[in-house]
Structure 1
């Protein structure tokens, strides 16, 4: 049974309420690498826009009992950071708290901090320094994306600076699962923040089974599936256009992760918003492995929206999977 989402559907009478992101606390893990520095710029930009507290932490891996919580050094406020509110010029520096965290693992330290300090959003790099002080290796970022109870925005090595996102395109992979409503609500709100156009994207993946499995009947015609998917996606695109958003759509056949990455590169996407879980079986689109491949290789920032946990959008009453 479809689950209603009041943030995505207009009431029968009266104006449609535009989803707004509500962000009070942003976490930005760092190890001093260039990739972490780029993530910090994006976190700083968002903190300034939302007037949110920005927590910048470094994780010292060591023999610490995780049951004792995380060891945290006193906060070190910074007053020399400045952000830009889109279209409004310089604004006062966000409230910044710098802390050193002790934990047996980098990912565990980040995740524990998210829970202990009730973070709304994590912004982190996808790669970092190697060695004992490593923090943002791909496996760490992927574990945080999988397990964090809040959305996670990842920033890769080649990501554009936050000021360069203005007026760009936000690529939104859609898998037609019920969780897409939460992803779409976040995408609409993020597009409003940066003044971006939405590009709805769907990949039809048909896997042919060998004759040894005794397949009965003919496999679905990819062309028919593409047409059906485009029809459904066009209906959703039209609904978004009535809310004042610029929306285009793209339906392709192929492997989801590869097609998403190709589309992002071809169109010069400024941002990607996707779900971390979707359908399973032949209709799957954004299972964990697909989302992880995208965040690992994406040429732009990626916001991973969970099918569970915290939502940054008001009125999101979608049931957790």
Structure 2
């Protein structure tokens, strides 16, 4: 499996790349080839006096390459120009990536680019599963908030097709997952369940699949605002990553996600793995 790791060369972006535990977790789920991508923004010109942006970025990526190769991965590097989230998404599509990884905080010392905004735009447009890796917010030497990326998963589901597609990610995440919490939030707008359609029963059926893989699993049905309740569950259970499906509305225009997915990406304290809908031919 291939993964794209997007970096703005900030200290925060380096945290994932330099974390042996994070790299081990990616290896456990089947990632064996990493593509390091950094984007020179369109408004930064090569001829600016005293600024060899491309050369500096290539030298930085070569340092990262050696770290990741030492961890056992094949590595390719890409220094490109353009709009960061569009170029990152384009490279992920071109190479057939199974995952895109981006840090959720950090300001680049080179061009004052904020990786947080890139993460937000990737969440709105990604066509591959996106891991938003949460980095310490206020630190001169930041570290990842949760090193064991997939050890304790919280999966929020509304039983939609998109949520089922996100749940299917456990087919490979299970190799790094020890515990899982399955959460469903009922809202006043939900239709009343039928006798054969109780949320607890449906969650229990999903839990049984995970337990067959040796994953200790709990189920949790809540009432209220979905984003607030999912974030409350994150606070209570402290997962290393929250797994959710997105609702993409257009492949052509940059439209918002469903508000629940966007809220979780923006407000979660830990990592978030966002799985876009299945692509149609």
Task: Give the TM-score band, short-chain normalised.
Answer: 0.7 to 0.9
Contact 1:44 1:94 in 2 (8 A): no
Say if 2:276 is the partner of 1:276. no
State which structure, 1 or 2, has the greater radius of gyration over its C-alpha atoms: 1
Q: What does residue 56 of structure 1 align with?
A: 36
Q: What does residue 156 of structure 1 align with?
A: 134
Offset at residue 51 of structure 1 (A): 5.5
Which of the residues 2, 23, 40 maps onto 1:44? 23
Contact 1:38 1:161 in 2 (8 A): no
Contact 1:35 1:155 in 2 (8 A): no
Contact 2:177 2:215 in 1 (8 A): no
Between the aligned partners of 1:248 and 1:102, the Cα distance in structure 2 is 45
Offset at residue 160 of structure 1 (A): 3.3
Between the aligned partners of 2:215 and 2:230, the Cα distance in structure 1 is 21
Which structure 1 residue ranges, 5 or more long, are not aligned? 1-22, 65-71, 84-90, 208-218, 279-286, 310-319
Say if 2:81 is the partner of 1:102. yes
Q: Equivalent residue of 1:302, what SS?
A: strand
Offset at residue 81 of structure 1 (A): 1.3
Between the aligned partners of 1:51 and 1:172, the Cα distance in structure 2 is 21
Q: What does residue 201 of structure 1 align with?
A: 183
Deviation digits for residues 226-272 of structure 1, max 9, x if unmatched?
A: x9322332233234434443211000011111111111111111111
Q: What does residue 179 of structure 1 align with?
A: 162
Between the aligned partners of 1:51 and 1:203, the Cα distance in structure 2 is 32
Structure 1 residues 147, 123: CA separation in 2 closer, same or farther (over 3 Å shift)?
same
Offset at residue 33 of structure 1 (A): 2.6
TM-score (norm 2): 0.74
Q: Equivalent residue of 2:102, what SS?
A: strand
Aligned ranges for residues 31-180 of structure 1 at < 5 Å?
31-40=8-17, 41=19, 44-46=23-25, 48-49=27-28, 50=30, 52-62=32-42, 80-81=66-67, 92-103=71-82, 105-129=83-107, 132-138=111-117, 140-158=118-136, 159-162=144-147, 164-165=148-149, 168-180=151-163
Structure 1 residues 247, 112: CA separation in 2 closer, same or farther (over 3 Å shift)?
same
Contact 1:61 1:133 in 2 (8 A): no
Which of the residues 231, 245, 249 maps onto 2:201? 231
Between the aligned partners of 2:115 and 2:206, the Cα distance in structure 1 is 36
| RMSD, matched Cα | 3.3
Between the aligned partners of 1:288 and 1:220, the Cα distance in structure 2 is 19
Q: What does residue 316 of structure 1 align with?
A: none
